[in-house]
């Protein structure tokens, strides 16, 4: 698995599939979710309304509508509540389930935002360690490439630190 860290916006990234940082309603919100819904257009919300939500740690797949991706994988990250409420396990499950969905879709490349590190308050370095380790441990043939997106220079440094740590054992 090739793990790349890229600085940029999820809606303009160069990948076949993108992951959304959604909530259990799947009905949109701010941050990544808001940017994706704004750019995808109302068809996305209409499809999301038929799904009946999604539990934390799981994913659901929709079309990409006005966005140039093959599909959108909506992942519901945990809300940080101090770290003793299965937050790490649930974030790990998000990455794992999104990779599983990407593999089932035959994805060559998939881009992830830093799930749960915005409105949901998950500590950034801890979240980056989980993201990097889950992707590096992925042993199936697809997706071949994972892009971990940093939306500011601090989160880019955080992700790079995690990658270096994971590669050096």
Residues with catalytic function: 33
**Pairwise CA distance, residues 92 & 143, whole Å:** 17
Q: How far is the CB of 46 from ligand AR6 (least distance, A)?
A: 17
**Pairwise CA distance, residues 110 & 97, whole Å:** 13
Among 18, 23, 92, 148, binds ligand AR6 (CB under 6 A): 23
Query: 12 or 141, CB closer to ligand AR6?
Result: 12
Start-end of H helices in the chain: 31-40, 42-49, 87-104, 124-136, 153-167
Burial of 168 (0-12, 13-18, 19+ CB in 10 A): exposed
Kindly state whether residue 158 participates in binding ligand AR6, applying the rule CB under 6 A.
Answer: no
Range 77-96, binding ligand AR6 (CB under 6 A) = 77
Cβ pair 120, 32 in contact under 8 A? no
**Pairwise CA distance, residues 47 & 24, whole Å:** 15
Phi-psi region of 165 (alpha: psi -120 to 50; beta: other; left: phi over 0): alpha
Q: Which residue from 161, 164, 167, 135 is spatially nearest to 148, judged by alpha carbons?
A: 135
Kindly state whether residue 123 participates in binding ligand AR6, applying the rule CB under 6 A.
Answer: no
Among 69, 112, 120, 138, binds ligand AR6 (CB under 6 A): 120
Given the rule CB under 6 A, which of 50-58, 88-96, 131-139, 147-155 is the region that contacts ligand AR6? 147-155
Query: 7 or 43, CB closer to ligand AR6?
Result: 7
Q: How far is the CB of 145 from ligand AR6 (least distance, A)?
A: 17
Among 2, 7, 14, 30, binds ligand AR6 (CB under 6 A): 30
Binding region for ligand AR6 (CB under 6 A):
9-10, 21-23, 29-33, 35, 77, 113-120, 149, 151, 155
């Amino acid at each position: 698995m090739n793990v790349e860290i890229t600085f940029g916006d999820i809606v303009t990234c160069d990948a076949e599939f993108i992951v959304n940082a959604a909530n259990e309603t799947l009905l949109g919100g701010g941050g990544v979710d808001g940017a994706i819904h704004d750019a995808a257009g109302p068809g996305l919300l209409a499809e999301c309304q038929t799904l009946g939500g999604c539990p934390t740690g799981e994913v659901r797949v929709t079309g990409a509508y006005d966005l140039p991706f093959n599909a959108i994988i909506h992942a519901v990250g945990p809300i940080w509540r101090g770290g003793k409420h299965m937050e790490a396990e649930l974030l790990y499950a998000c990455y794992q389930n999104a990779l599983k969905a990407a593999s089932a879709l035959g994805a060559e490349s998939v881009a992830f935002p830093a799930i749960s590190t915005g409105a949901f308050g998950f500590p950034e370095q801890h979240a980056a360690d989980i993201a990097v380790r889950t992707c590096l441990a992925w042993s199936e043939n697809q997706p071949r490439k994972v892009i971990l997106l940093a939306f500011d220079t601090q989160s880019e440094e955080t992700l790079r630190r995690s990658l270096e740590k994971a590669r050096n054992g």
